[in-house]
Amino acid sequence: MRDGRADVLEDLSGEVHDDERSLRVVRLLAMYLVGIWVVALTAVALGADAVGDLLAAQGKLFFLAGLVLVLVVRGAGTRDDRASWWCFAAAVASYLGGAAAYEFYYRGLDVQPRPSWSDVAFLGFFPLAFAAFLLLLRGRVRKLTANMWLDVLVTGCTAAAVAAAAGIGAQLQSADGGVLGVATAMLYPIGDLLLLSLIAGGLVLIGRGAGPGWWWVTAALTLFVVTDTVYAYQLTHGSYTVGGPLDIAWGLAFVCCGMAATQRTPRRTAVRADGSGVLLIPGSCALTALALLFIGYLATGDPVAGAFALLAVVAALARTALTFRDVRALADSRRQARTDELTGLPNRRSVFEALATTDIRLAAGDRIAVLVLDLDRFKEINDSLGHAVGDALLAQVGPRLRAELRAEDVLARLGGDEFVVLAHDLDAEEARLLGERLRTRLQHPFAFSGMGLSVDASVGVAIGPDESLSAVELLQLADLAMYSAKTTRSGVAVYDEERDGHGRHRLEDVAQLRQAIERDELVLHYQPKLALPTGAVEGVEALVRWQHPTRGLLYPDAFIDLAESAGLMAPLTNRVVDMALAQCRAWADLGRRLTMAVNVSPSNLVDEAFPDQVRALLSRYDLPAESLVLEVTESLLMEDRERAVRVLGRLRDEGVGVAIDDYGTGYSSLAYLASLPVTELKLDRTFVGAMTGSPRAESIVTSTLQLAHALGLVLVAEGAEDQETVDALTLLGCDVVQGYHLSRPLPAEALWSWLEDRALVDAG
């Protein structure tokens, strides 16, 4: 997995093409070298001594030089593992230097020194190769833990113990090569064992997803262990011959190294084995070591005591395994509490735990990018294909997104079809490009039972500490940016204070509005409605206001949209109906009965319990159903017409009036006038205000009035701002007028005074 900001900015397709080109070159070179080696081996097998001499001398140097070139080209073709491949090339080059020194100098000497400078160059292979494999491992493991080092130590010590038990150490010590010669000879198999131990530990950490390259390296090191051990024995006993089977075996080991370079490195490796798998290497090594100790004890001590000691240690290992099983069960419970069951990703709880730790890095000035992804039109997939398909799709989203992320990046599911990514060391532009790549990944069709299903996503991005020092707030800002991306269909949007700043305090405003509903901070103003045939005020319309504790009196345009988006319209409307009917009851007790008109929200129209709530309120205030008129807009009726008809029909059956508000500005379909239980039409002020100066507007008012009367409906003309308009409506036969000419909306006490004054004027 890739690290660094430059890797994040690099175009994915360009990287894949570069890697493919380098692999083609590497494979051609490797095939050429392997072909030379196979031809040489065939010639040796057939007894061609001259070719065998060439293989042992200059031919081997040519082969090693070609292998160095292969490794250099392989490293040049990848950004992820370039340092590791070049370090491995340096290791082979060191070995090449030793081979060249031997061929061009030491081989011609009558007495070859042991050790020599060739040995120094040969042994230089091991630390460089160890560093190369360590770098390769670091690119796939987030952290080299103490457990890994212990696995390496246990494996290496066990392998060395097996080698000693096989008699290699005793044979080397009994040789006639001198102390330095023997020590030098032993360094070769020891170095091989250390390298093999590192690879074994790495395979345990990475798992089966390590790729074939790791297994080719393992095969190479296994050959090195065998050949170097035999070489050390032959060297100390004076039986080693140049150009023999050992040289062929070394060549095959280097061929395996070259084959490792021809393999594509997986972009993502498997997670380290969990459960009992992590005990496989240390457990096997422990049992092997116990067997060696027991064999040694049988040779020198009491076999009964040795047997009991062996049983005691085996029982202790079994007890350790049981303890591990209990600990693993606890770990599984903890993991399940922090893991989404459907996708296997971290869940919301894990996200907020990660955010809490991220605050420390934000305070230190580290750059953190938070990306929120929401699948577009996912509800349509659930509704049309079923939730089983939707769940299967969500399960495939995680692996798609993870393929574009680094090992240290956090990917989690917030809930539903919403995912979040926490990425470090990215600025706004880099995070935006990452969001585009994530969208591109999701746009590739998902396969379900032979059917391709395409989805898209909207991505919101917020960057800390630029926008906030709180990771939780960054999540909120990314969510706001995501809604902006969804609204504008831009795909990816980075949080912008000017565009999204109003939503930054949205949660606080929602909480305050919810408290306003509960703490009676809502107040009603009432606008009178004049019945033209009688000249009397027979009803009022209740209009809600918010008496904000710090911002003063707020009109509906300041909080209605907030209530709609936050799901508060239903409780707000219920509260308004309650307050309006309470006031209607108070006026009735004072001797004035007025009808009360109240606007209804979409949430109420789709709520099957709303008619029962209205009936209960009318009963509480002992008011007839005819006292209440519910006003709905045309657009609301069109959202869920079938359910709206059902809910309004029940209200109308109770006797509650139903008015179509803002008539003429919406869909204005005659079909719903025939099917809905409507009692009033409220003609929009746009037509009423222009009727005295526009014959076309006057014609619309006239025709609408005739339609209403033909259907047996009451026509209410709102927006009557002057006496001329009122007179014109009176001549046309309009039923009710409402507007500023009559009165502005007033608080209950002011409206009562207005009604009293009007009654005195009428009486005069």
Most confidently predicted of 214-228, 333-347, 459-473, 656-670: 459-473
User: Within a domain: residue 341?
Assistant: no
Whether 100 shows a pLDDT value over 60: the answer reads yes
Cβ proximity of 284 and 53 under 8 Å? no
User: Within a domain: residue 339?
Assistant: no
Neighbours of 76 (CB within 10 A): 15
Average pLDDT over residues 480-496: 89
| Strand-pair partners of 718 | 738
Least confident of 89-98, 325-334, 696-705: 325-334
Q: Return d(Cα 441, Cα 105) in angstroms, integer.
A: 59
Least confident of 408-422, 499-513, 734-748: 499-513
Q: Return d(Cα 154, Cα 195) in angstroms, integer.
A: 13
User: Within a domain: residue 342?
Assistant: no
Most confidently predicted of 23-27, 217-221, 231-235, 534-538: 534-538
Confidence at 42, pLDDT banded by 50, 70, 90: low
Record the tokens describing residue 394, joined without a space. Answer: 């969500």
Whether 62 shows a pLDDT value over 80: the answer reads no
Whether 127 shows a pLDDT value over 90: the answer reads no
Asked, as a colleague might, if the bond just before 127 is cis with ω within 30 of 0, I would say: no
Record the tokens describing residue 88, joined without a space. Answer: 């491995």
Average pLDDT over residues 192-216: 65
Domain identity same for 581 and 466: no
Q: Return d(Cα 199, Cα 189) in angstroms, integer.
A: 15
Q: Got the DSSP string for 658-695?
A: EEEEEETSS---HHHHHHS---EEEE-HHHHHHTTT-H
Q: What is the pLDDT at residue 269? A: 44
Average pLDDT over residues 46-59: 52
Domain identity same for 585 and 690: yes
pLDDT digit string (tens) for 569-616? 888 999 999 999 999 999 999 999 999 999 988 778 878 889 999 999
Domain identity same for 206 and 327: no
CATH number of the domain within which 264 lies: 1.20.1070
Domain identity same for 513 and 496: no
Average pLDDT over residues 221-226: 72
CATH number of the domain within which 545 lies: 3.20.20.450
Q: What is the pLDDT at residue 143? A: 56
User: Within a domain: residue 657?
Assistant: yes
Least confident of 376-380, 556-560, 676-680: 376-380
Average pLDDT over residues 740-744: 91
**Those residues with Cβ within 8 angstroms of residue 2's Cβ, 6 or more apart along the chain or in another chain:** 8, 79, 80, 267, 406
Average pLDDT over residues 204-231: 68
Confidence at 273, pLDDT banded by 50, 70, 90: very low
Total structural domains in the chain?
4
Q: What is the pLDDT at residue 489? A: 86
Domain with 392, as residue range(s), is: 348-504
Q: Which residues of 49-75 are buried (b: 16+ CB within 10 A; e: fewer)?
A: eebbebbbbebbbebbbbbbbbbbbbb
Domain identity same for 696 and 732: yes
pLDDT digit string (tens) for 15-36? 334 455 555 555 555 555 555 5
Q: If DSSP codes are grouped into helix, strand and coil, which group holds residue 461?
A: strand
Q: What is the pLDDT at residue 3? A: 37
Domain identity same for 232 and 330: no
What Rg value do the Cα atoms of the chain yield, rounded? 42
CATH number of the domain within which 406 lies: 3.30.70.270
For the chain, give the mean pLDDT. 76
Domain identity same for 579 and 530: yes
Domain identity same for 487 and 536: no
Domain identity same for 485 and 540: no
Q: What is the pLDDT at residue 328? A: 64
Domain identity same for 376 and 298: no
Q: Return d(Cα 745, Cα 656) in angstroms, integer.
A: 23
pLDDT digit string (tens) for 465-487? 888 888 888 888 898 899 889 88
Domain identity same for 371 and 232: no
Domain identity same for 521 and 629: yes
Confidence at 638, pLDDT banded by 50, 70, 90: low
Q: What percent of the chain has pLDDT over 90?
A: 24
User: Which residue did the predictor score with more confidence, 702 or 339?
Assistant: 702
Average pLDDT over residues 265-291: 57
Most confidently predicted of 251-260, 322-331, 388-397: 388-397
End position of a domain, from candidates 450, 478, 504: 504
Fill in the amino acid letter for 324. F
Q: What is the pLDDT at residue 271? A: 44
Least confident of 308-312, 365-369, 660-664: 308-312
Q: What percent of the chain has pLDDT over 70?
A: 65
Q: What is the pLDDT at residue 282? A: 63
CA distances from 317 to 102, 152, 282, 324, 556 (A): 50, 19, 11, 10, 73
End position of a domain, from candidates 476, 504, 532: 504
Q: What is the pLDDT at residue 18? A: 41
- This prediction's pTM: 0.46
User: Which residue did the predictor score with more confidence, 602 or 396?
Assistant: 396
Cβ proximity of 621 and 584 under 8 Å? yes
Fill in the amino acid letter for 212. P
End position of a domain, from candidates 458, 480, 504: 504
Average pLDDT over residues 161-173: 52
Average pLDDT over residues 77-97: 80
Whether 490 shows a pLDDT value over 60: the answer reads yes
**Those residues with Cβ within 8 angstroms of residue 311's Cβ, 6 or more apart along the chain or in another chain:** none
User: Within a domain: residue 588?
Assistant: yes
User: Within a domain: residue 168?
Assistant: yes
Asked, as a colleague might, if the bond just before 113 is cis with ω within 30 of 0, I would say: no
Three-state secondary structure readout of 500-554: HHHHHCHHHHHHHHHHHHHCCCEEEEEEEEEECCCCEEEEEEEEEEEEECCCEEE
